[in-house]
């Protein structure tokens, strides 16, 4: 392993010189197997690696994450996919190993945001995962290892320039972190808060029935938030993230953003969306963008402009607002976590519309009573974790 790696530039081309190294002077825990990762690539790599490693340790399942701009677009466990999920994630023609299932779920949560992502895997990247990645637009990957077949596939991606990073699975960082801002050094203890089922013991609502599947999903959401730019809120269901609201100045905007993404995730499973008559030669990013527009309120404008002819063999009937509302009523059993307390019950009201049943948050607001009361109104289960998860 090298002692330092020189980078092309920092966050922007004018920010030079740029490198990564250990202040202790020791060898870095990473090795570049292909490509030339940049400053932001490594920020995504190290944050996403911590997320998937903690998910694997907390659940025992292989885990994957899809990162963009130092926040996850998706994160998931390697659980099998049913026929509908295989179709909406566009992997119904692939053989999927558990770690490949994890990445299919992570990328499929929000395919628009995952365009050009950084990938993190908790386990060795195998042929199946590499084959999935080979046809997606992605900047790079970090994993503890790669099979020979997987590495051969990945090295051929992006004209041989795809970034492939191997990390030492046993690397443990210093308990003290430092960084410089405006020429001034900040220092703090590393956020080593352990998130497991013990964080969900303090249930404060009338409904105290928290099934094992919900505990798993809340742990996924909480660990995801630990590596998401704050303020942040995360929706999870069936072993995967389905919506992240990151970097917002108000918590209600986090909740609205995450809920909107979760709604889109579920609307993509509508029979009308599954049967859209795409042309055979449409590019994958164009297809994803078109599905997003089809679900949105802008589709009627697209129909008027005749742009649909660029993508479909026949004119698709729109999903009416009434049809969307009726379909979304079928979304239930969703888990929701927040990186800090909910200050008002409006967050719970919005979450309820997206099928949220289970909530984990630190608690500690002067309006906790109002938030609990709103949860009780809808029969939700809410646990106070006592753990704030700000990440900046």
- What's the alpha-carbon Rg for the chain, to the nearest Å? 21
Cβ–Cβ under 8 Å, residues 68 and 233: no
Q: Which 8-state DSSP code applies to residue 147?
A: -
Tokens in use for 351? 């979450």
Q: What residue has token string 């889109």?
A: 264
Q: Give the angle subtended at the CA of 99 by the CAs of 231 and 211, to the nearest 5°.
A: 60
Query: Which structure tokens are listed for 2?
Result: 């090298």
Residues with catalytic roles: 68-69, 231, 392
- Cα separation of 82 and 93, whole Å? 13
Instruction: Report which DSSP code applies to 312.
Output: B
Is residue 64 within 8 Å of 103, Cβ to Cβ? yes
Nearest alpha carbon to residue 144 among 64, 220, 216: 64
CB 66 within 8 A of CB 49: no
d(CA 120, CA 123) in angstroms, rounded, equals: 9
The alpha carbon of 382 is separated from its chain's Cα centroid by a whole number of angstroms, namely 22
According to DSSP, the residues that pair with 32 across neighbouring strands are 165
């Amino acid at each position: 392993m090298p002692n330092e790696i020189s980078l092309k530039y920092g966050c922007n081309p004018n920010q030079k010189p740029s490198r990564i190294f250990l202040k202790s002077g020791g060898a870095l825990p990473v090795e570049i197997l292909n490509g030339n990762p940049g400053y932001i690539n490594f920020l995504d790599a190290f944050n996403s690696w911590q997320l998937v490693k903690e998910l694997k340790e907390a659940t025992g399942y292989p885990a994957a994450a899809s990162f963009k701009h130092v926040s996850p677009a998706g994160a998931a466990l390697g659980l099998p996919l049913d026929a509908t999920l295989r179709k909406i994630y566009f992997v119904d023609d692939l053989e999927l190993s558990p770690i490949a299932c994890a990445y299919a779920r992570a990328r499929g949560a929000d395919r628009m945001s995952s365009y050009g992502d950084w990938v993190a895997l908790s386990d060795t990247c195998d042929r199946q995962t590499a084959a999935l990645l080979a046809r997606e637009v992605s900047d790079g990957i970090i994993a503890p290892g790669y099979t020979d077949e997987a590495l051969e596939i990945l090295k051929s991606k992006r004209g041989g320039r795809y970034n492939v990073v191997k990390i030492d699975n046993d690397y443990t960082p210093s308990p003290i972190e430092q960084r410089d801002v405006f020429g001034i050094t900040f220092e703090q203890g590393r956020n080593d808060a352990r998130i497991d089922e013990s964080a969900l013991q303090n249930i404060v609502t009338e409904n105290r029935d928290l099934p094992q599947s919900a505990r798993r999903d809340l742990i996924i959401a909480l660990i995801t938030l630990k590596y998401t730019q704050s303020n942040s809120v995360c929706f999870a269901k069936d072993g995967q993230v389905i919506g992240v609201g990151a970097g917002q100045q108000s918590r209600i905007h986090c909740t609205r953003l995450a809920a909107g993404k979760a709604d889109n995730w579920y609307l993509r499973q509508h029979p009308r969306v599954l049967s859209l008559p795409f042309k055979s030669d449409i590019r994958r990013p164009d297809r994803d963008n078109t599905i997003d527009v089809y679900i949105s309120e802008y589709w009627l404008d697209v129909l008027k402009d005749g742009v649909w002819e660029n993508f479909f063999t026949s004119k698709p009937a729109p999903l009416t607002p009434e049809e969307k509302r009726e379909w979304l009523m079928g979304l239930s059993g969703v888990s929701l976590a927040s990186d800090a307390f909910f200050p008002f019950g409006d967050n719970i009201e919005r979450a309820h519309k997206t099928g949220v049943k289970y909530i984990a948050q630190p608690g500690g607001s002067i309006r906790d009573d109002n938030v609990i009361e709103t949860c009780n109104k809808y029969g939700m289960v809410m646990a106070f974790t006592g753990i704030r998860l700000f990440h900046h």
